[in-house]
Amino acid sequence: MLDRWTILVPGFLVLQAALVHFASRGERPPAAPDLLAFPASIGGWEKIREDPIEADVAAQLGADRLLNRSYVLRTGAVANLFVAWFQSQSAGTRQPHSPQVCLPGSGWITETSSRLALHVDIGVGAGTISVNRMSVSKGQLRAVVLYWY
């Protein structure tokens, strides 16, 4: 004769497995950021313009949000900030791709490539992140590209 534990324990385990399976099914991405709220001043860098993104480039990227902005220092040095936000990557249809792919595809030549530890302090916390660093050229143009995912 079976006692109640022989039936309850396997039933509980099956129920628990079903709950875990169904609870983990749906992706819960964070709320998409308002990229236009990105600061106009960062350290000594001041925003000089919003740079338009060509429609065919935006379509090729397939990102949910894009920001392309230029900043300048008092010395005249110029930096470009490009952010592509992908709300979800689980479907596999829209994936960010590395500048190691898209820059050479648009005519840039990679001179060097390395990793760099970058200290960031965004007001709500500070820390060090590891970023990819590329030195690239295209004709007379030279640029340093920092990127991470």
- The full set of domain ranges for the chain reads 33-96, 97-149
What pTM does this model have?
A: 0.69
- What's the order of all strands across the beta sheet hosting 126-138? 109-121, 126-138, 141-147
Q: Is the pLDDT reported for residue 122 higher than 90? A: no
Could you identify the residue written with the tokens 């001179």? 111
The number of helices, as runs of H, and strands, as runs of E, in the chain is 3, 7
- Report, as an integer, the average pLDDT of 9-18: 80
CB 63 within 8 A of CB 96: yes
42-76: per-residue pLDDT in tens? 889 999 999 999 998 888 888 889 999 999 999 99
- What's the order of all strands across the beta sheet hosting 41-42? 41-42, 45-50, 65-72, 78-85
Q: Binning pLDDT at 50, 70 and 90, where does residue 96 land? A: low
Helix (H, G, I), strand (E, B) or coil at 61: helix
